[in-house]
Structure 1
Amino acid sequence: MKNILKITLLSAFIAVFTSCETSELELLVSPNNITVESADPNFILNDIQLTFNGIVGGYSAPSRQITRQVNQFSTYNGTVTETTLQGEWAQSYQMFANIDLLLGVNENTLDAGGIPYHVGMAQIIEAYAYMLLVDYVGDVPFSQANKPSEFPNPMVDDGATIYNAQLDLLDEAIANLNLGIQTNARLPEDIFYGSFDAANWIALANSLKIRGYLNMRLVNASAAAAGINSAQSGNIIDQNSEDFQFMYTASGTELPDSRHPFFTGSYLAAGAGQRMSNNFLDLLNAGDDQPPFIETGEIDPRTRYYIYRQDSAPPSGSNLPCASNLSNYDYCYVGNLYWGRDHADDEGLPNDGFKRSVYGIYPGGGAFDSDLFEQARATTDNLGGAGIRPFYLASFTKFSLAEAALTLGTNGNAATLLEEGIRLSMNKVRDFADGLDSGPFEMTNGDINDYVSRVLAEYAAANNDGKLAIIAREYYLAAWGNGTEPYNLYRRTGYPNLQAPIIPAGPFPRAFRYPDTELDGNPNIQQQPATTRVFWDTNPAGFID
């Protein structure tokens, strides 16, 4: 970490040299001599926003594997290693240094009113990023971070201390955003929402407070309940128009490629690079989340939006290696032409890149499954990669509040909040196919109503533990494309009931390991096992697998 500050100014201004014309560059100070006097706050903030998207994407990829959204091949130790978070760790601390630079620009321009909107946005991103570091690793450098001359080898701070500091920072961010409104401050460039509106960022800050307090409910229930009630009394993300997300485009002609990674990994010439999880496919494809995963006969209306099937025949022969040892599998093949693999299946990998099921239209900007059964690379009726990375959506807020109402007795009716979360998710997913030919397969209001009715009937008949499992299952399904929230949800609640690894896969990673690049340079950080639990995870060892 002691070298992070030396490279941060260059990273902060990469956006300048990839987006400006030569005539503009001639007016800039050399990036080796950037100061708070010469720095453009929009360029710094743009880099902060783009970096944060990459950080969340890096966390999400292994998380989607261990939580059975997509297939995990073999053991947990193969997915969560000492190198897994190298990039996310370095990018986070580089981003924090760039935020410090932005705060310096603000101080330097206070006589002109400062840049409170920029600061408020950056503080919210910083709080979110620090919470993610704690969620994934636990104790990390905070008070001594990014001070190389004073602390060349920073010590770690307690995760709870860091979390509480971020909740305070979110309040500071809200105050800065309100200051910007009062003073008609200079407007920032907003990559996430497109057109800047302070109300969206205030809603995000309050929603992140709900997120943080909900994670903390096992360690301090009364404080968590009070914090959630306070946050939800203000402006929160409760409409799809307020969703916090990164929007990709269909442009692949410029560098860097601005298409969604789900699209580039599934719809280009090399064939699909990821296998779907049979467990997730089964939940969509008329399955139940209670072992032995009994079929219920009702297909989730989002299925054709989430998953695209490339082949009109079921897997067989060399494309179905599990068939030779069915007794070891819960699924092997889930039916309805959905090609996936069981959790931790380490059998041979057939050359089925143009046959296996791939990402659909939501959220990766691929194709809607209208029974064409074409190779993904051959489909033309798709969004070309113009998808989203869902960071924190209105449906997430509703499911979080439903969990809080059920477990903490916070304001609101859990069943009503559950219904609202499902409807928000369904409508968001359906809107992705606007303008595409979905034939007779488009999700209808009747489909949504039928689904909601089934879930609410199931919920009404369940005991409190069963109710929590249902809320968690619906949150999990709505979070498709986001790995961070299901990872927290699973550790916090133990739900949804997910398929156990079909091989001895080792203990479920309750935390990720410190990156070896940090351990090599900082003797004050010692490696931790994957069984380490972050401060808010007080559930017992072996609680989940």
Structure 2
Amino acid sequence: MKLLSHYISVVSILILGLLFTACETTELDLTENPNQLDRDQSDADLFLNSIQIDFGKVIERFGAIGGQVTRIDNMNGRDYENVYSPSDFNDLWSGSYQSTGVPFTDQNGHNQTFNGILADARALEPIAAENELYQHLAIAQVIEAYIIVTLVDFFGDVPYTEALQGSTNLNPGVDDGAIIYDAALNLLDNAIANFQKDSDTEPINDFYYRGDWEKWIQAANTIKMKIYLQERLVNPEALNNFNEIVNNGNYIQNMSDDFQFSWGTNEIQPDNRHPRYANNYEGDGADEYMSNWLMNLMSNSDDPRIRYYYYRQTNVVPGAETAPNEETLSCSLESPPQHYIDGGFTFCFLNNGYWGRDHGDDDGIPPDGFLRTNFGVYPAGGRFDDSSFEGTSQGDGGQGAGITPILLSSWVDFMIAEVAMEEMNDGAALIALQNGITKSIDKVRTFGILDNSANLSFEPDNTAIQSFISDIATNFNNAVTMEDKWNVISEQYWVALFGNGIDAYNFYRRTGYPTTLQPNIEPYPATGDFIRSFPYPADLTTNNSSVDPKPDVVQKVFWDNNPDSPAFPVSN
């Protein structure tokens, strides 16, 4: 089986370079059609290319933010109320709705460009309908459904039914999140029907499933499962609907079915490398820090995926294997906060060269770009950790040819485990847990070959893998309380979700697990309550008089009826 079955071809790369001139955009107020081509001049394939590529970019950004607040990635900010500003989400807003066409600078100082998924979908619809381009339309419908659900999950009520109507509505109002969820389910049903129709002309480029419409139908059904699971607290029929799809079996079950966006290796014109690679494999070393919580969890359990996820640039960390160093790791000279001591949480440094940061540590940036742990070969297309302990640079490892996972077969098993736990079926939950871990490890292992320079003798063997899975199963079976069982499942779900924290953010608000998460460096209440939804983007509230800024970050989305923080989630 090929590792990345959806490489962007050379022709596709050339098309991508043309997209930003073929799809002109105007104002970011959700009112103008950004594609200023007449319908008879418009190219459905160009619109679809734009939709697919921007989808990968937008999900990568959403996934990074979801990962930061749930400790899968590092969050750089001491309190939840101020760690993200409204302007931090302007790029996601333009990428989801419509763009100004002007490149923006992301949070890591790198230029990015979005065209606007929903605007391009609106422009594509009449062309596809007129020319019976059913698969073009179906792909756009699946992507639109995922995007609007994610917008609700992160922001709550957002403009949808009145959005993108041109001058007929300059200030579209927001829709209730439940209404948008229903619209997404309707889009997915229509997409499934359209995938089954005959078209004279199929898309030139399918960057996800290469024209395998059955796999697209499986992805659409899996997104429906995700929707039902997310609304299970407020919809009494949600679990029945979820189980109906499981019983039918037409959903993502195998690695070959995985819904993912694949990145390339071009550095310029365009730079189509994985953003986590492009941001961290540079001349001045790594830009981002890894999460101490997740690295510690994986290191302590001898997780077989750790050498794929992380590349250690050094084998010693100040305060651990070597003396504290104020210049490179100032916290190595500090005492742990009392709430870290009380909870038994790791602080500042880890053993074996895993150099990251604690949750909420907003210290300055020392000269450690070639010392801190970097992203590995999965999913960013970096280096496999073969204990070479070298500083990373551009062109190393897989050269950025990684993936942004969107919905993986391993994740689906964790979804099934959650439902089994809700139904008090420990046996079914354990089976799903083991299946999820196995599929995750199997997928991650295929990425080692991306790094041609790596010594792959450091890859885990089958004995080590089976021992790890057996240990996790034992931990689940020996768990004294249901909380302990939930923690075993959720911790392993977090590990499998590395590369996209969207579903971790949803799961955490939905269940409150895992309760083992490292808290902020600053103790509560100085940290503020956990983010139940993010601030509205500044461009939305500035340009749309129908939408006011949110008063705080504790406004819940429609499906979150859990108690207020700090009691829930348990860890802030």
Question: Normalising by structure 1, what TM-score?
Answer: 0.88
| SS of residue paired to 2:219 | helix
Aligned to 1:500: 519
Cα distance change on mapping 1:255 and 1:379 into 2, 3 Å: closer
| SS of residue paired to 1:509 | coil
Tell me how far 1:56 sits from its aligned partner: 1.2
Mapping 1:314-325, distance limit 5 Å:
314-315=317-318, 316-318=324-326, 319-325=328-334
Tell me how far 1:101 sits from its aligned partner: 1.7
Aligned to 2:160: 142
Query: Is the counterpart of residue 349 in structure 1 residue 365 in structure 2?
Result: yes
Matched-pair contact (CA < 8 Å) for 1:390–1:481: yes
Query: Is the counterpart of residue 457 in structure 1 residue 474 in structure 2?
Result: yes
Greater alpha carbon shift after TM alignment, 350-359 vs 404-413: 404-413
Matched-pair contact (CA < 8 Å) for 2:209–2:215: no
Match of residue 38, structure 2, among 18, 32, 35: 35
Query: Is the counterpart of residue 161 in structure 1 residue 179 in structure 2?
Result: yes
**Distance in 1 (alpha carbons) for counterparts of 2:361 and 2:259:** 34
Aligned to 2:506: 488
Cα distance change on mapping 1:457 and 1:516 into 2, 3 Å: same
Matched-pair contact (CA < 8 Å) for 1:367–1:379: no
Matched-pair contact (CA < 8 Å) for 2:162–2:172: yes
Query: Is the counterpart of residue 308 in structure 1 residue 311 in structure 2?
Result: yes
Greater alpha carbon shift after TM alignment, 503-512 vs 134-143: 503-512
Cα distance change on mapping 1:219 and 1:155 into 2, 3 Å: same
Matched-pair contact (CA < 8 Å) for 1:117–1:185: no
**Distance in 2 (alpha carbons) for counterparts of 1:199 and 1:410:** 31
Match of residue 265, structure 1, among 279, 282, 287: 279
Aligned to 1:116: 134
Tell me how far 1:162 sits from its aligned partner: 0.8
Tell me how far 1:32 sits from its aligned partner: 7.6
Alignment: residue pair count: 505
Tell me how far 1:412 sits from its aligned partner: 9.2
**Distance in 1 (alpha carbons) for counterparts of 2:395 and 2:45:** 38
Tell me how far 1:250 sits from its aligned partner: 1.9
Gaps of 5+ in 2: 1-12, 24-33, 99-116, 319-323
**Distance in 2 (alpha carbons) for counterparts of 1:157 and 1:201:** 28
Matched-pair contact (CA < 8 Å) for 1:229–1:411: no
Matched-pair contact (CA < 8 Å) for 2:209–2:216: no
- CA displacement, residues 281-318 of structure 1 (integer Å, 9 cap, x when unaligned): 111110xxxxxxxxxxx311111110100013222312
Matched-pair contact (CA < 8 Å) for 2:263–2:400: yes
Match of residue 231, structure 2, among 210, 213, 216: 216
Match of residue 538, structure 1, among 528, 552, 561: 561
Matched-pair contact (CA < 8 Å) for 1:41–1:102: yes
Mapping 1:396-435, distance limit 5 Å:
396-408=411-423, 413-434=428-449
**Distance in 2 (alpha carbons) for counterparts of 1:156 and 1:394:** 34
Aligned to 2:94: 90
Aligned to 1:128: 146
Tell me how far 1:460 sits from its aligned partner: 1.7
Greater alpha carbon shift after TM alignment, 324-333 vs 448-457: 324-333
Aligned to 2:546: 524
Cα distance change on mapping 1:33 and 1:133 into 2, 3 Å: closer
**Distance in 1 (alpha carbons) for counterparts of 2:433 and 2:35:** 52
Matched-pair contact (CA < 8 Å) for 2:231–2:559: yes
**Distance in 2 (alpha carbons) for counterparts of 1:491 and 1:195:** 35
**Distance in 1 (alpha carbons) for counterparts of 2:423 and 2:200:** 40
Query: Is the counterpart of residue 368 in structure 1 residue 376 in structure 2?
Result: no
**Distance in 2 (alpha carbons) for counterparts of 1:125 and 1:371:** 40
| SS of residue paired to 2:504 | helix
Which letter does structure 2 place at the counterpart of 1:486? A
Mapping 1:63-102, distance limit 5 Å:
63-74=66-77, 75-94=79-98, 95-102=117-124
Aligned to 1:7: none
Percentage of identical aligned residues: 38
Query: Is the counterpart of residue 443 in structure 1 residue 452 in structure 2?
Result: no
Aligned to 1:293: none
Greater alpha carbon shift after TM alignment, 62-71 vs 360-369: 62-71
Aligned to 1:18: 17
| SS of residue paired to 1:500 | coil
Tell me how far 1:337 sits from its aligned partner: 1.2
**Distance in 2 (alpha carbons) for counterparts of 1:100 and 1:15:** 24
Match of residue 359, structure 1, among 367, 371, 375: 375
| SS of residue paired to 1:540 | coil
Aligned to 1:290: none
**Distance in 1 (alpha carbons) for counterparts of 2:282 and 2:210:** 31
Gaps of 5+ in 1: 1-13, 26-30, 287-297
- CA displacement, residues 75-118 of structure 1 (integer Å, 9 cap, x when unaligned): 22343211121111122122212212211012222xxxx01111
Matched-pair contact (CA < 8 Å) for 2:219–2:251: yes
| SS of residue paired to 2:67 | helix
**Distance in 2 (alpha carbons) for counterparts of 1:49 and 1:412:** 39
**Distance in 2 (alpha carbons) for counterparts of 1:218 and 1:460:** 27
Match of residue 47, structure 1, among 35, 50, 57: 50
Match of residue 245, structure 1, among 253, 260, 270: 260
**Distance in 1 (alpha carbons) for counterparts of 2:36 and 2:370:** 50
